[in-house]
C-alpha cells in the first residue's frame, strides 16, 4: 500500500535564457530578422529582446560586450574577437558591388588622394575598404544618413555611401567615383564582406548553436515568404518605394546570408589579412564561427 506521505513530483518549468539581439534599423536586417521579431518562430528555452541601432553604434557597443547577439562590421572583428564569435549565417556580402564613393565633380578614382572624404564610421567596413584602396584620404567621420547632404553642400570633397544610399545617390545629382565592391572583386575575385552577426563567447555551446539555427531559419522564412517579409521590412527602408526596397534587400539577403560557404569565409579572411598587412588593423586574426 502506498504511503500517504509520498508527495506528488513538482513540475519543473524549463529555464528560459533571455538574450539581447541587436541589429541595424535597415530594410535588409529587418527582412532577415522578420520571423524572430514577429515571433513566427522561436525556441522554448530562448527569448530575444531586440535592439535597433546604427552599425557604428553597434560596433562600439560590441567593444564593451553590451549585447549577447549583435550585428557588426567585419572591420570591427579584430577588436572584439576575444568577446564574440561569428554566427555562420546573417552576413552581408557585395558580389561586385558595395559602398560607393560619390562626389559632385567628375573625378576618376585616382583623384581621391588627399581629398576630404566623409565615411560612415571609424569601424565600418566601408572605411576599411576605402583605406585599402587609398590610404591617403582625409577621412571625415559622418553619420551615414548625412553623407549625401555633406557632399552635396560641399562640406567634404566626396563621401562613402552605404545602405540605401548606394541606390539613391544618383537621384541627388551626385556622381559615382568608385564602387568599392567592384574594386575589391577586381583585386581578389571575391565578394566584399561587409557585416556579420556575432554571439558572446561566454554563452554555452548549446545556446550558441541554438541561436545560430534560429537565425538561419529566420532568413529562410523570409526568403520563402518574401512578400510578407518585404512588407514588414519596407517600414525600415527610409522612403524607398517597394521596387527599390526589394532590390536593396536582394543585394544583401541571399544565399551568402544563409551560409558564408568556403568562398565567403575566404573573403572574410582575405579582408582581415589585407587590413593587417596594410597596418590598418591592430593584429592578425583568424575568423572563428559557431559550428
What residues in the chain have per-residue pLDDT under 50? 2, 5-6, 9, 12
In this predicted structure, what is the pLDDT of residue 130?
Answer: 97
In the chain, alpha helices (H): 27-32, 34-37, 55-63, 77-80, 125-133, 147-152, 165-168, 180-188, 205-224, 226-233, 242-252, 255-258, 261-277
In this predicted structure, what is the pLDDT of residue 186?
Answer: 97
Catalytic positions, written as ranges = 163
| 216 CB burial (10 A radius; 0-12, 13-18, 19+) | middle
Q: Cell 537621384, residue?
A: 171
In this predicted structure, what is the pLDDT of residue 164?
Answer: 82
Cα–Cα distance, 108 to 196 (Å, whole number)? 31
Cα–Cα distance, 54 to 145 (Å, whole number)? 10
Asked if 150 and 156 touch (Cβ cutoff 8 Å), the reply is yes
In this predicted structure, what is the pLDDT of residue 203?
Answer: 97
In this predicted structure, what is the pLDDT of residue 13?
Answer: 52
In this predicted structure, what is the pLDDT of residue 4?
Answer: 52
For residue 235, give the C-alpha cell. Answer: 517600414
Please report the sign of the dihedral spanned by the C-alpha atoms of residue 80, residue 84, residue 85, residue 86. negative
17-93+193-277: CATH architecture: 3-Layer(aba) Sandwich (3.40)
**Range(s) within the chain of domains with CATH label 3.40.190.10:** 17-93+193-277, 100-188
Cα–Cα distance, 40 to 49 (Å, whole number)? 15
The per-residue pLDDT for range 263-281, each reduced to its tens digit, is 999 999 999 999 999 999 9
In this predicted structure, what is the pLDDT of residue 277?
Answer: 98
The per-residue pLDDT for range 172-231, each reduced to its tens digit, is 889 999 999 999 999 999 999 999 999 999 999 999 999 999 999 999 999 999 999 999
CATH of 100-188, one of 3.20.20.240, 3.30.70.2740, 3.40.190.10, 3.30.470.20: 3.40.190.10
In this predicted structure, what is the pLDDT of residue 78?
Answer: 98
Amino acid at each position: 500500500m502506498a504511503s500517504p506521505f509520498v508527495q506528488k513530483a513538482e513540475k519543473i518549468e524549463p529555464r528560459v535564457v533571455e538574450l539581447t539581439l541587436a541589429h541595424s534599423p535597415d530594410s535588409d536586417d529587418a527582412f532577415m530578422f522578420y520571423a524572430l521579431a514577429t515571433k513566427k518562430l522561436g525556441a522554448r528555452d530562448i527569448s530575444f529582446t531586440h535592439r535597433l541601432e546604427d552599425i557604428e553604434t553597434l560596433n562600439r557597443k560590441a567593444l564593451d560586450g553590451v549585447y549577447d547577439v549583435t550585428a557588426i562590421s567585419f572591420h570591427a572583428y579584430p577588436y572584439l574577437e576575444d568577446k564574440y564569435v561569428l554566427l555562420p549565417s546573417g552576413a552581408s556580402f557585395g558580389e561586385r558591388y558595395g559602398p560607393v564613393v560619390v562626389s559632385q565633380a567628375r573625378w576618376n578614382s585616382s583623384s581621391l588622394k588627399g581629398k576630404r572624404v566623409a565615411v560612415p564610421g571609424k569601424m565600418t567596413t566601408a572605411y576599411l575598404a576605402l583605406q585599402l584602396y587609398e590610404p591617403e584620404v582625409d577621412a571625415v567621420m559622418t553619420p551615414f544618413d548625412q553623407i549625401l547632404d555633406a557632399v552635396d553642400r560641399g562640406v567634404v570633397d566626396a563621401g562613402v555611401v552605404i545602405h540605401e544610399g548606394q541606390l539613391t545617390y544618383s537621384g541627388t545629382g551626385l556622381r559615382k567615383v568608385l564602387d568599392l565592391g567592384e574594386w575589391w572583386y577586381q583585386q581578389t575575385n571575391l565578394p566584399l564582406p561587409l557585416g556579420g552577426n556575432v554571439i558572446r563567447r561566454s554563452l554555452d555551446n548549446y545556446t550558441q548553436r541554438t541561436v545560430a539555427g534560429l537565425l538561419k531559419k529566420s532568413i529562410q522564412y523570409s526568403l520563402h515568404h518574401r512578400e510578407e517579409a518585404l512588407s514588414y521590412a519596407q517600414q525600415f527602408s527610409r522612403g524607398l518605394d517597394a521596387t527599390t526596397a526589394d532590390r536593396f534587400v536582394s543585394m544583401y539577403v541571399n544565399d551568402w546570408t544563409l551560409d558564408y560557404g568556403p568562398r565567403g569565409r575566404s573573403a572574410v579572411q582575405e579582408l582581415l589579412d589585407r587590413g593587417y598587412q596594410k597596418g590598418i588593423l591592430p593584429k592578425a586574426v583568424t575568423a572563428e564561427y559557431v559550428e
